Amino acid sequence: MSPKSSKLPKLAPFSDIDLSRWKDYSDVWTDSLWVIDRRDTSGAHINSYHGNFIPQIPHQLMMRYTKKGDWVLDPFLGSGTTLIECIRMGRNGIGVELNESVADKSKSIIASEPNSFGVTTVTSVGDSSTLPFRDLLDSINVKSVQLAVLHPPYHGIIKFSDNPADLSNAGTVDDFLLQLSRVVSNTMQVLDEGRYMALVIGDKYEKGKWIPLGFYAMQKVMDAGMELKSIVVKNYGETRGKSHQQSLWRYRALQGGYYLFKHEYVFIFRKA
Ligand SMILES: C[S@@+](CC[C@H](N)C(=O)[O-])C[C@H]1O[C@@H](n2cnc3c(N)ncnc32)[C@H](O)[C@@H]1O
């Protein structure tokens, strides 16, 4: 091969990254430890929803695993961080949220982001463990999605509503994992082969014991048939608690023989 032809664009099959210029992508992370100092609060990212994730998570995932014009599904829409990032990056987005008032508010926040790429974003109200995503996609004439970003409640750590279908109200960890598995199967129905799913989740404490919720959930996604590609550990931002509350937690940690949560996971899977 001549030196000239080796400079032809060499696109990864699932992103717009030109591998022939791979050294130019210093803004695309490839390490499994994500330490992020500051939340991106620009544009429509107003950070008003307790339990949201930072925009850099869907941003990095879309840079690695989507092309412009692809469709991204977020079955736990919340305040719409993923869909706002879709608009900014020229990806189409579908978000499903159980809580109607949350979905309505998100819809107007998402619409406030300037849509310079002319992409489509769709928000739907429903239970992602039972709402058939195939029908939802059919209703908007979309065949499939090319990336799924799942950011479920971390079981009962934050209670999002009183709705029994809300994963934050699952009675036990097993109930939570069963509901999550249903969302995963539902999502897999519409995800293209060879494309990616990310699960963002943290662990929890229960009765003085560390419950590895993240790893339990990871195993469920693997059991559903997805290939595990990476386990990313991300630092967990400062809680909104006041400093005296944080000192109290530190005291409790010293007393109880445990460590305070300062990380969560971004599990990356590929549909084989
Ligand atoms: C951790 S938050 C997601 C936050 C989102 N990533 C953001 O940045 O705003 C989880 C969301 O899932 C929603 N939820 C809980 N159970 C659900 C279900 N069965 N179907 C759809 N949404 C659900 C909750 O109402 C909550 O808004």
Tens-digit pLDDT profile for residues 85-95:
999 999 999 99
Please state the rounded mean pLDDT for residues 192-212: 95
Residue nearest atom 16 in ligand 1 by C-alpha distance: 166
Residue nearest to atom 3 of ligand 1 (CA): 78
CA distance readout (Å), 179 to 3, 21, 37, 174: 53, 42, 33, 9
1 pLDDT above the threshold of 80: no
Number of domains in the chain: 1
Q: How many residues does the chain have?
A: 272
Ligand 1 pocket: which of 167, 177, 180, 201 to mutate (most atoms within 8 A of CB): 167
Pocket test for ligand 1, best of 106, 123, 127, 166 (most atoms within 8 A of CB): 166
Structural domain boundaries enclosing 163: 49-271
5, pLDDT greater than 70: no
Contacts of 210 (CB under 8 A, 6+ apart): 203, 258
pLDDT above 60 (res 164): yes
When pLDDT is averaged across residues 63-85 and rounded to a whole number, the result is 98
Report whether residue 186 contacts ligand 1, using a CB cutoff of 6 Å: no
pTM (2 d.p.) = 0.94
Q: What sections of the chain are H helices per DSSP?
A: 56-65, 81-89, 100-111, 133-139, 173-188, 213-223, 243-256
> Given this model, what pLDDT does residue 6 score?
58
Q: Is residue 134 part of a domain?
A: yes
| 183 in any annotated domain | yes
Residue 190 resides in a domain? yes
Q: What is the pLDDT of residues 77-128, one digit of tens each?
A: 999 999 999 999 999 999 999 999 999 999 999 999 999 999 999 999 999 9
| 21 in a structural domain | no
Q: Is residue 28 part of a domain?
A: no
Ligand 1 atom nearest residue 75's Cα:
21
Among 59, 72, 76, 180, which residue has the most ligand 1 atoms within 8 Å of its CB, making it the best to mutate?
76
CATH code at 84? 3.40.50.150
When pLDDT is cut at 50, 70 and 90, the band that residue 133 belongs to is very high
Instruction: For residues 124-135, give the mean pLDDT.
Output: 98
Report pLDDT digits (tens) over 203-258.
999 988 999 999 999 999 999 999 999 999 999 865 445 567 778 889 989 999 99
